Chains A and B, each alone.
Chain A
Amino acid sequence: MPFWPRHLPSQGCEKSVMHRTIQDWFSRVTRREALQIGLGLGVSCLLPSLELRAANKRGEERPKSLIVLWMAGGQSQLDSWDPHPESKYGGPVKAINTSVSGLQIANSYPHMAEQMQHLSVIRSMVSKEGDHERGTYYVQTGYRPDPTVIHPAMSAVVASRLHNPAVEIPQHIALATGEGFVVPRGGYLGNQLDAFRVFDPGNNLQNLNKQVDDQRQERRLEGLKVLSDSFRQGREFRVADTLHEHVVGQALTMMNSEQLKALKLDDEPKEVINRYGDSRFGRGCLVARRLVETGVRAIQVTLNGFDTHVNNHEGQAELAKTLDPAFAALVQDLVERDLWESTVVLCLTEFGRTPMIVLNEGRNHWPIGFSCVVGGGGFRSGVVVGETDPDAGAAEDNVALTKRTPPKDPVTVPDLYATILTQLGLDYQEEIITPIGRPLVLAEGTPISQLLPG
């Protein structure tokens, strides 16, 4: 039998004593170490007591996960969840009926139209940020950019608060992310909560295979322990704060984990992949479902390209071809696999697009009345929150963008997050002392009662 089998049997795998020791040594976090880690980074979430608290709150319920479908660039509400074909600036979009009576969406989303009975639509999202970078930050964290502190993305908050000890791969994963370092960040909760990036889901898992055979790997890791001991001398607390060994331990655990299979699609039938759509985003949604099945709590899948300052309608409709089948298949699968009640799915964007059509058939940024879709996790479905006036844009031509009359029943991003945290069984008002000493609550808003059950 190979010393360190590449494909471990799912249960009762025999690991050598040596292997266990080294591995344990790297992954071991004693109570004291945990305390140091927690104090060093202000990450109170790593303390076991809090984790238990979160678990108790959930009671008998199954632990929940969050999937965020992130529409990067600013998805047009008018070309998706809030069409106004009859209005002056409605554009060439047509509306179609959905499985929810009275709810219409754009005709570029035929698959989604059949799934809307599982979901709710918020048509009155408001933000104060009309720039991509700042808007993305605001909508992903619930806080406006502040030079003194980096706020964690909501998905990082969820990953930290619903930490699943049974998961050996990262608890916060960003799928189909683009170039650069635009992943949801751990912010003041710590770098280790930055999302693990997978550029091309289902393909090409990089750097997960060790370079040498098991025996040599053992020897290398033993040597690493010798060097770590040397470095710790005289720098006791501060070396612990670097978390170097802890991170190496996590990486080793991940490399040897059976759960890595969730990130691969070798065993998925071709038809399933095609149902989602064989694109980075489509495969991302499928991998997201597999990750939820594995117990990963926070996943983001990105679809980029919504910034349609030119030829808005065509651009938005083109992206709908990717989003529509993937989103619909994800909802359908989660429902069929009895995961819907334990998985919150959120389709969100940094802002919407202007009701006015500008030069070259484009639409500009519009943070005051855009849409998001939310469902699963026990949320009420078939609800439509808020209403936009398609002519508002034109009527208030000279008013500052963020000072315009908001849509009916406006929902702020913090409101949305307070709602989601509540539904996930978390206290959205929990205060965290940030590294700069300022206490911040997890979400500054108020839950939207229309969406909560009961």
Chain B
Amino acid sequence: MKRWTAIWVFLVIAGVFLLTWRVAHPPQAAAVPAIAEAELSQLQRAVEPVNAELADLWKRHDVTPADAANDLTVLRRLSLALHGTVPSLEEVRAFEADARPDRLDHWTSDMLEDRRFADYFAERLGRSYVGVEGGQFIIFRRDRFKAWLADELQDHTPYDEVVQQMISAEGVWTGDGEVNFLTSGFADGEFDPNKITARTVRAFLGQRMDCAQCHDHPFEHWKQSEFEGLAAYYGKVSLSMAGVTDNRKKEFRIKADALDEGRVVAPGVPFNPEWCGTDGTPREQLARWMTHPENKRFERAVANRVWGLMFGKPFLQHLPVDDLPDPGTNNDLKTLDLLGAEFRAHDCDLRWLIRTIAATDAFRLSSKHPLATNADLTTLSPDEIEDLKKQVDQTGEYWAVFPLVRLRPEQVIGSMIQSTNIHTVDQNSHLIIRILRFARENDFVREFGDPGVDELQDRVGTIPQALLRMNGNLSRELTDPGGLLAPGRIASVSPTPEAAVNTAFMACLSRNATAKEIAYFAEHERWEKDRGQEIQDLYWTLFNSPEFSWNH
């Protein structure tokens, strides 16, 4: 009880303060994004070879690409991937008013400069660097890590430098956010080099050597000794009064357990040792090796990761995002090589990589495919249906149709909150909205169940999630037509039920309602009787529809 009273008192004070502040500082009108012509043609040149390779991939596997998706659908995909929510009504209206043929390229670039991108992408990328667990609070602060990473993204720090900072970090975890990359590897006050090594290889080489911790990799070529050599780079990591440092006297020993004396292992990399250089600390050398311009694995790893975050699935869909085969062993991965090279040529600029991927044909295809639509399933035999399904799967596997991917918990909640606000909820929003968003997001994510670090694996929804969406407090509060939120406002200001239905569809699904949907949801008699109830039911229905919960 006390807690709630305190929260309410705080909210009221904050509200009064903010209302005053808001009057003095009216929000600025959304600026129409603009980028230089030269940059656009450069982007065009970057995308062309990727599109050519995708076309070739489709030809090689005998699949026909879907039609292009409409721009609003692509805007929704971008907003979900880069900001973690559906676009706001405000944004949708501005986008619709933008008549430029290449408006999507302009908008992508603009969305990347928004602080929401830095914050959201830091959360998504951060999972591969520090995991999702809370860790040992005393020496690990996930929030500090995320804030640091978000600042680096906001400042346009080249990605290779970001990685170097993490690997060679020294200092205190509360002051220097990147240090948490290392302190996430502490358990019971002891640093576990194996954990951080496995994570380093996964995150920055896009490969898995975890098994090689205990034995030689059963399928791949990794040897246990190679893993131990890499782990030895982290062997001197220790805690001191100054935080994390390298203890020069510390040797890296492979021990079976705490009682074992162990054997000393020297740092060593599995290939191209010359990339390490000779100066600097062991970890600085490892960082140099990892991000070396000739280390193709590094750029493929980031290309695959970012592809995965944009599409919801890694490029090689049947394998985990950080389990890529060796370079040159799979011809179908040429797309990743091209994207990686482009990323390198652009000074390891994450934004450029994102813009390139967002401009590819694959990202702009529809999630509908004529293959199944044109067939009359009722006339087909089970075997024929089976064949058809295989073809549909094949089309999806080679990116000839946009995948259906379940939204992550924070995307669901972010979208619920955004779609019940007319204006964009961002760093300029009313503080109360942001506080509520923070609290709700965390509760909801906990109840919804975080998918953890394997978030890019295929998964369906679960019963508890359906119950939470249908019956949870949050959906009740957000759809309440009595408040100041969008449902009430839409119901009261829309001239006709049709207009109200359309606006709600636009707010939730980023599209207009179809004639059939209008016919069902905009029954005049019902709206005249109780428009509040109608809008509330409509919002509830939209929240629970598959289209809301799945990126398409």
Contacts and interface: CB of A to CB of B under 8 A. Distances in A.
Contacts of B396: 238
B454 interface: yes
Contacts of A228: 545-546
B546 A245 contact: yes
The 7 A-B pairs at the shortest CB distance, nearest first, are namely A400-B256, A234-B368, A251-B466, A244-B546, A227-B545, A223-B541, A236-B372
Contacts of A435: 318, 458
Interface in B354-400: 366-370, 372-373, 377, 382, 385-386, 388-389, 392-393, 396
Contacts of A222: 520
A239 B404 contact: yes
A368 B333 CA distance: 44
B208 interface: yes
Given A220-B541, A228-B546, A242-B460, A208 B514 contact: no
A227 B517 contact: yes
Contacts of B452: 181
Interface in A172-199: 179-181, 190-192, 194, 196-197
29 contacts: A36-B389, A150-B457, A181-B450, A192-B460, A194-B449, A207-B467, A216-B533, A216-B537, A222-B520, A223-B521, A224-B541, A224-B544, A226-B520, A230-B516, A234-B367, A235-B369, A236-B392, A238-B367, A241-B404, A243-B460, A243-B461, A244-B546, A245-B546, A247-B462, A247-B465, A255-B471, A400-B257, A400-B260, A436-B318
B463 A223 contact: no
B460 A211 contact: no
Nearest to A132: B187
Interface residues on A, range: 35 or more
B404 A150 contact: no
Interface in B297-313: none
Contacts of B373: 233-234, 236
Given A235-B368, A238-B392, A197 B537 contact: no
Contacts, number: 187
Given A231-B545, A242-B546, A401 B462 contact: no
Contacts of A219: 537
Interface in A203-233: 206-212, 216, 219-220, 222-224, 226-228, 230-231, 233
Interface string B193-220: 0000000000000001011000000000
A170 B547 CA distance: 25
Interface string B535-552: 001101110111101101
Contacts of A436: 318-319
A248 interface: yes
Contact of A180 (B133, B516, B538): B133
Interface residues of B, number: 75
Nearest to A198: B464
B188 interface: yes
Residue among A147, A170, A179, A397 having the largest count of chain B Cβ atoms under 10 Å: A147
B537 A148 contact: no
A58 interface: no
Given A220-B540, A244-B461, A237 B466 contact: no
A69 to B, nearest CB: 22
* Main SS class of interface, B: helix
Residue among A235, A236, A397 having the largest count of chain B Cβ atoms under 10 Å: A235
B547 A231 contact: yes
B261 A247 contact: no
A148 B471 contact: no
Contact of A401 (B256, B520, B533): B256
B38 interface: no
A264 interface: no
A337 interface: no
Contact of B320 (A148, A358, A364): A148
A248 B208 contact: no
A7 interface: no
B110 interface: no
Interface string A41-63: 10000000000000000000000
A35 interface: yes
B470 interface: yes
Given A223-B521, A247-B463, A209 B471 contact: yes
Interface string B258-269: 111100000000
Residue among A196, A227, A250 having the largest count of chain B Cβ atoms under 10 Å: A227
Residue among A39, A179, A248, A402 having the largest count of chain B Cβ atoms under 10 Å: A248
